[in-house]
Structure 1
Amino acid sequence: MPVLIPKEIADDEILVHYIFDRNFKNKIISIEKLVSKDIFLPNKGGVSLQRNFYCKESKCKEFAKGVAIGKVYIGFIVFRKSHFEKVKQNYILNERKEFEADIFSTPLDEHFQYLPKEMEVYLDTPGNPAHADLIYENPALKENESPNTAIRSFSRKLSKDCKLIIDSSPLSDSFDDDEFKKVV
């Protein structure tokens, strides 16, 4: 029986963002060289994520390697939606009261186009049914500030306690590590 993927993203869901060599200062792969302010910058409208409950690690890796044109796949940065919500609330309370961002289920078809929002999506729906986007609806700009400045500040805070997973076998097709399960 097909498994329906809910449109609502649960607080305990693990969200996965791909990491490439360009995410590290001077392309030196170490946690200390991770450019945290740029990790969650939007690309073409949103920050692409995978919903790990509905996309196993090896499938996440397959998608990451598929979009790695012109860059080198390194691994993932993972977090729970509850972590995102906590960071967002602290950011609103302490820094930018008008800030608005959320994570939406945005399943993709085989051509990486968004499926209609009203469509029911199942685990076996062709394409990337477990795709999600972090959307900055209002980065709450301060006077004479660019959107990226505001978003970089939030990105730095969000990435601070996320789990960076550097793939020990980036050339293989499978991901045989249990690091995703260790996300608090």
Structure 2
Amino acid sequence: MSLLVPKKIADDEILVHYIFDRNFKKKIISERELVSKDIFLPNKGGVSLQRSFYCNENKCKQLAKDIAIGKVYIGFFVFRKSDFERVKQNYVLHERSEFDADIISTPLDESFASIKSKVYIDSTGNPAHADLIYKNPALRESESPNTAIRSFSRKLSKNCKLIIDTNPSSKSFEDIEFKKVI
């Protein structure tokens, strides 16, 4: 029997965000050139993540390369849900009291449509998909949503580990396991 992917994301779960060449200034691939304020900007409603407990490094790389149309896969940003919660709590306490965001399980079928029923790690599509959703970016007067979100993105990025794939053109991920980085 296959392992059920639970709806609830545990605090110790490792979340993975794909990194592409466009995430770096002038496409210079180094940690110094990472544009941290843009890493966690939403696309089509949320920020796409993978739950690594239910998707190994090789599968994460395959999925990243599959969606890399018009961009070049570079690696990953990894963090625990507890890191996200801590950054969010500090952001609410010290900067924007109305700010609200959450990371929710959003499994996808092979057509990238949301799956509402139970999913297992071997379900077709992307059963380990999750989204970071900004429920309330807590805008200040005459501010755009991206300004508030960029501020949070910069703070969350500082609590993530950047993994630059040493062999991005290969099919398998041969670098360190995500759980050994965090």
Do the structures match in fold with TM over 0.5?
yes
Residues 1:159 and 2:157 aligned together: yes
Distance 1:155 1:179 in 2: 24
- Kindly provide the amino acid, as one letter, of the partner of residue 77 in structure 1: F
- Kindly provide the amino acid, as one letter, of the partner of residue 137 in structure 1: K
Counterpart of 1:29? 29
Counterpart of 2:111? 111
Partner SS for 2:120: coil
Report Cα offsets for 1:150-181 as digits up to 9, x if no partner: 00000000001210000000000000222412
RMSD: 0.7
1:141 maps to which of 135, 139, 152 = 139
Divergent runs of 4+, >3 A: none
Distance 2:107 2:118 in 1: 10
Report Cα offsets for 1:82-122 as digits up to 9, x if no partner: 00000000000000000000000000001111112xx1111
- Structure 2 length normalisation: TM-score? 0.98
Paired residues of 1:80 and 1:183 also in contact (CA < 8 A): no
| Number of equivalent positions | 182
Unaligned runs of 5+ in 2: none
Paired residues of 1:12 and 1:81 also in contact (CA < 8 A): yes
Partner SS for 2:11: coil
- Structure 1 length normalisation: TM-score? 0.97
- Kindly provide the amino acid, as one letter, of the partner of residue 174 in structure 2: D
Unaligned runs of 5+ in 1: none
1:168 maps to which of 152, 166, 169 = 166
Counterpart of 1:127? 125
Identity level (%)? 76
